[in-house]
Structure 1
Amino acid sequence: MSLPERFEQSKKDFSPRGSPQLSIYRTGGGHISAAAVRQLFESQPDALIVGADPDADEVGFAPADPDTPNAYAFSSDDHGLGGDIRFGPALETLGIDTGEFDETRYVPLRQDDGVVVADMSKLTPGDSDESGDGDTDTHERLRDYLDAEFDGETTQLEVTASQLGDALDVDGRAIPHALKKLTDYDAEKQPRDNEASVWVITSNTASAPAESTKRVGDSDPNLKLVRDYADSVESIQELAERLDVTEGKARRLAHEAGVDDGLQDLIDRPGVDR
């Protein structure tokens, strides 16, 4: 079947539009837009070398042969416009924990001396927090917290960045960067399927037996239970009641269980009925 002659037939248009940008997923992968490939690369690359500049909070991408050591495959989409790239280690160098993302993030791309550069400054956690103790650095507050947790009986702590953020009253995104500044503790990130990553923190100075491990949140409800309850309620407040925890704790557990997007948060506001 064809259109009548009075219709001018439209052709498929796969030409890239928009500004060059990088999409960053919670999984640690990303997508370089078609506009970025067309405007910033000489041709569609097969692989990319990826590096991080911690001083500038930037990630750089340079075209490379697929056989180049440490080159990442650049997986083009169906029409060869844009493609996917994994660059988790570069993000970790900048202290960015994508497991804490609640949605895909987008950052602009530009070309600088033949390198395609992503400015990560809006995603990179700062060293200080304005909501708590004024000029006290987050890493100093974290050190004090860990000193108290490692009480002579504990040599290893398992905790998520959001749990540490809650304990210190800071943005959880600042925690990975702060952990790297500590000298008395080593921290290793361990990803978990469908849950926030766990940081395993060990003391370099404690003398307790190595098997002495404390898991923050051991007394919390099992995340499977949180998911089960979330299926039968409509709001954070109902979830808190079912779990017999505070609303703040219910928000954290819902986030860690990956069910917060499906729940209403009926925050009390003066003069407004829930």
Structure 2
Amino acid sequence: MSPKVALVTGASSGIGEASARELLQRGYTVYGAARRVERMAGLAERGARTIALDVTDEESAEKAVAAIVAESGRIDLLVNNAGYGSYGAVEDVPLQEGRYQFEVNVIGAARLIQLVLPVMRAQRSGRIVNISSMGGKIHTPLGAWYHGSKFALEGFSDVLRLEVAPFGIDVVVVEPGGIATEWGSIAVDHLMEVSGEGAYADLAGKVAKGMTGGINARMLSQPSVIAKAVAKAATARRPRTRYAAGFGAKPLIFLRRALPDRAFDALIKRAVAS
């Protein structure tokens, strides 16, 4: 049998790069996709096929999927990993930025799903792994647009799972906790740019400190932890609908489920203030 074919978005660094490497080790033909192809040189050296892809550009997405199908004849796995965290007070974040957060984290993933589904239906098999976040189940201050996008991706994935099951296609959500990537520093830079002054400045400083310093920063998990969860989601004969992994993910998701809203609010406020 020929190797299964995987498309991994956001593969230039962090979770995407680690997931692409893990899938290569498991025998997949891996297409690593990102806006900056030159940053995937290390993946190419390991045997991945790298392609340019901007998930917010429909033409770019169409060309990428068409190129994979033309070259390999199939797509067995889509890992929707491309994304970022837009932080800032709701009052401060321009709506244009809020829309872009959803364009990257939700709409871009949805468009790629639309493009690969006809191929997977024709094969009568396929798997879609959507990288959400523990932030798709919990909430923290100044992350309304980010959390909103991940909550949306979670619900989107649940509905999609029901729709495509009759065609032999499965949909799995991976919910990372705190991971040691450039994601956090980028989110903090944006947070301080948007809300570092004004009415929310004090809260922004506390949130930024919590995201980049102290015990949290020292205990962050490596991207390889999530890569292994992605591989499990991709290869399990009967995968779970969700895999939570990485620092804080399982306990915080459990607490969110177990505690009343106000009690969880108090827990998060205490964590931010400490």
Verify same fold: TM over 0.5.
Answer: no
Structure with a larger share of its residues in strand:
1
Structure with a larger share of its residues in helix:
2
**TM, length-normalised to structure 1:** 0.28
Relative CO higher for 1 or 2, CA cutoff 8 Å, sep ≥ 6?
Answer: 2
**TM, length-normalised to structure 2:** 0.28
